[in-house]
Amino acid sequence: MSGAERLRGKVAVVTGGANGIGLGCAQRFAAEGAAVAVIDLEQDALDEARASFTAPPLLVSGDCTDAAQVEAFIKRVEGELGPIDILVNNVGQGARERKAPFLESQEEVWRFVVEINLFTTMRFSRLVAPGMAARGWGRIINMASESAVIGPVGSHDYGAAKMAIIGFTRAIARELAPRGVTVNALCPGPIRTRALERSAGEEAKKAVASIPVGFLGEAEDIAGMAALLASDEGRYITGQSILVNGGRWWL
């Protein structure tokens, strides 16, 4: 079977998929034959993303931290596209403009970072995993980060949330493996995305200098690994935390 056919007949959901890594995954899945549904808070970005697909995906504006909106989205996907086979829990972010050293940090920011990263991952997984298990086939791909293992200064909340995603991944991978469902975590390193562009400058230069392969990754580098894990070719891979970072750090 060629790569272009690996996901034909599958229904894939990507959270936070209007740009960056999420959009890269959605585009790759669609190119490989999947029917794709994306949820993202930014309607303008969704509208812009629509033109990048040859087959029109289901693009929905919604808040992934709102349980009612998430449940309504999943029901809509199942009603319009069919049972969900593949879930990429991509939505997440750091504290961004509220980022601070731990000694100056605020609990409200911790809560936001944990909610947008960890709780969204658990929320979506809880909604789709029962159906996958009942049908005997499913793929859940959780977006962690190399920050979980590197522990950069100022990423106490983000690193904690992403490491929690790794623990969650391992626990449900063990539970769901006998039911034909694989669960893995991808841990991207520096990737050329809007978020990295916003922090461009010395920080970005230092990141590039620390990558043994000598260049920033692209969203397609993460999407390629996600497509492998989502396909039948990834059937023997589960519970793993896979660093995709140009060799910047190893497990």
Residue 251 domain-assigned (yes or no): no
Active site residues: 158
* H/E element, 56: none
Residue 249 domain-assigned (yes or no): no
| Domain interval for residue 121 | 3-244
The single-letter DSSP state of residue 2 is: -
> What pLDDT, on the 0 to 100 scale, is given for residue 198?
61
Beta strands in the chain (DSSP E): 11-15, 35-40, 58-61, 86-89, 138-143, 181-188, 241-244
Low-confidence ranges of the chain (pLDDT < 70): 1-3, 195-204
The single-letter DSSP state of residue 142 is: E
Q: How far apart are CA 113 and CA 93, in angstroms?
A: 7
> What pLDDT, on the 0 to 100 scale, is given for residue 3?
56
Residue 76 domain-assigned (yes or no): yes
Residue 7 domain-assigned (yes or no): yes
Q: How far apart are CA 90 and CA 149, in angstroms?
A: 18
Q: How far apart are CA 251 and CA 240, in angstroms?
A: 11
Residue 122 domain-assigned (yes or no): yes
Q: What are the φ/ψ torsions at residue 240 (nearest 5 degrees)?
A: -95, 155
Within the chain, how many helices (H) and strands (E) appear? 10, 7
Q: How far apart are CA 222 and CA 24, in angstroms?
A: 8
Residue 212 domain-assigned (yes or no): yes
Amino acid at 84: I
Residue 70 domain-assigned (yes or no): yes
CATH of residue 65's domain is: 3.40.50.720
Residue 193 domain-assigned (yes or no): yes
**How many folded domains does the chain comprise?**
1
pLDDT digits (tens, 9 = 90+) for 137-188: 999 999 999 999 999 889 999 999 999 999 999 999 999 999 999 999 999 9
> What pLDDT, on the 0 to 100 scale, is given for residue 2?
47
